[in-house]
Structure 1
């Protein structure tokens, strides 16, 4: 009988980390692939995961098309939509075991080593998540772009671009700043080019503008500073919704967690602690059966 292998997957709207482990939990390989958010990719997220996994299998001389000895722990953005989750599971190949959860759950598992605690994911999108002592979980936010994802890269990029358009039409008090000029130059110096950029723009496209905001904030651009501070307040609102008393251990994770740290409100900066480990470690816990299946409540449920 072949040795059991474990595969951990941490998938979001911008990129996916896929790791392969031996029976003892030692990492055999790690690779980064494209987005696997179910909101963006649906069941086709499997194509991204399996293509990347085949490369890891080849590196250890494992049959790249046989996953029956693998136990999967998969955390993806969009799994909180029950229909998307079901469609993804229905499309799964033959595997040893399959555990599918939200990317928030594996991030919380990794950040707090499976113990009670809360996290805010701040990346392309945003969501707040809490694991309680009884094993249940609660999620706030996570409604997706454009109605949700407050404080995220997509939210920040969209808000900045709206400002830039208003500034160049004379509708923004104070006029255009360096940030606004950079956004217009990048997205469309002419109206037709801007309309082309906007047509069908997804959350990932807006999130790609967030680094411009962070860079300009670092140069004391007033509009960028205001936007970064507004993002910080939105992140704080998610955190307070998870624990108004600000007592439960809390970590921020995701690609914008560190860049936005200087712009968080002081009470949130004093509350946040560094995560113990990365979300991929939580995916491994799920694959190994060292964490319970996700039990998710919404809002005040």
Structure 2
């Protein structure tokens, strides 16, 4: 492989973890590290991004000074302003563009050019639509105000519903009992859990909600239906047309397919991951994608 080939760096940072990949004529190394939601914890997120890049360089057998020549794109959860993006870019090696994670999720799911809707549902969530190269998106404003249907949202909503069940305001289900046991056994333990929880922490409860829904638990099924209704509203708000494909991505995205299926709707399997999308956008910066 010619060493004159440009070196590209892609970074995907989210509430559960972050990944980095290096490309020189093809993929040459990947690395992963912990959460990188910059709104939740800026300094820890930036440190984890650095670890992921270092591990990708190690996997590729590249010294640190070579990575400094990379052309990169980083899509990061929690980047809410140009000022924050510039601050992160200054801390990254090479010439790296920093955006929120929507662009890389759409590029990875649909490839460089295809139109369609992307419902990205992991620890957080957003719904985006690309049409003729223009991207519009809704949601993704963070768990405190948004991220409906996501793993973090499911975990927090299930705990809130459990407290209502304890208060006699709704039926108590097996999921309520399981969550209560998980956090310590008392309503006060739920409050204590929530006092220090972040999106990733709430997201650890999502598999319990998922398992309960598969078993027919009424609360879990109701939460998934509520999430699906929001996703449908999001598609409507973006003006999604029936002929435009829908791509469900993230750890939870495919779980909503049955609830979102309608006559005439066309679902498209993701072409790649958000990390693939980051590399697509990095290479496009250099005119190679």
Deviations 1:137-174 (A, max 9, x none): 212112211211111112111111111111122221xx
Corresponding position of 1:224: 220
Out of 185, 189, 208, the residue aligned to residue 189 of structure 1 is 185
Corresponding position of 2:18: 16
Map of 1:95-114 to 2, 5 A cutoff? Answer: 95=94, 97-114=95-112
Q: Residue 120 of structure 1 contacts residue 128 of structure 1 at CA under 8 Å; is this kept in 2?
A: yes
CA distance in 1, matches of 2:135, 2:37: 20
| SS of residue paired to 2:40 | helix
CA 1:209–1:3 in structure 2 vs 1: closer, same or farther (change >3 Å)? same
Q: Residue 34 of structure 1 contacts residue 48 of structure 1 at CA under 8 Å; is this kept in 2?
A: yes
> For structure 2, which runs of at least 5 residues remain unmatched after alignment?
none
Q: Residue 22 of structure 2 contacts residue 60 of structure 2 at CA under 8 Å; is this kept in 1?
A: no
Corresponding position of 1:295: none
1:121 matched to 2:116: no
Deviations 1:190-237 (A, max 9, x none): 244333212132222222211111101111111111111111111222
Corresponding position of 2:38: 38
CA distance in 1, matches of 2:146, 2:184: 26
CA 1:88–1:21 in structure 2 vs 1: closer, same or farther (change >3 Å)? same
| SS of residue paired to 1:267 | coil
Corresponding position of 2:162: 164
CA distance in 1, matches of 2:274, 2:286: 13
Q: Residue 30 of structure 2 contacts residue 59 of structure 2 at CA under 8 Å; is this kept in 1?
A: no
Corresponding position of 1:177: 173
Corresponding position of 1:285: 280
| SS of residue paired to 2:70 | strand
CA 1:192–1:227 in structure 2 vs 1: closer, same or farther (change >3 Å)? closer
1:214 matched to 2:210: yes
CA 1:252–1:290 in structure 2 vs 1: closer, same or farther (change >3 Å)? farther
Q: Residue 43 of structure 1 contacts residue 91 of structure 1 at CA under 8 Å; is this kept in 2?
A: no
Number of aligned residue pairs: give it.
284
Q: Please provide the CA RMSD for this pair.
A: 2.3
CA distance in 1, matches of 2:57, 2:142: 34
> How many Å apart are 1:291 and its aligned residue?
8.7
| SS of residue paired to 1:149 | coil
> How many Å apart are 1:87 and its aligned residue?
2.4
TM-score by length of 2: 0.89
User: Which moved further from structure 2: 58-67 or 184-193?
Assistant: 58-67
1:200 matched to 2:200: no
CA distance in 1, matches of 2:116, 2:265: 16
CA distance in 2, matches of 1:285, 1:55: 20
1:260 matched to 2:259: no
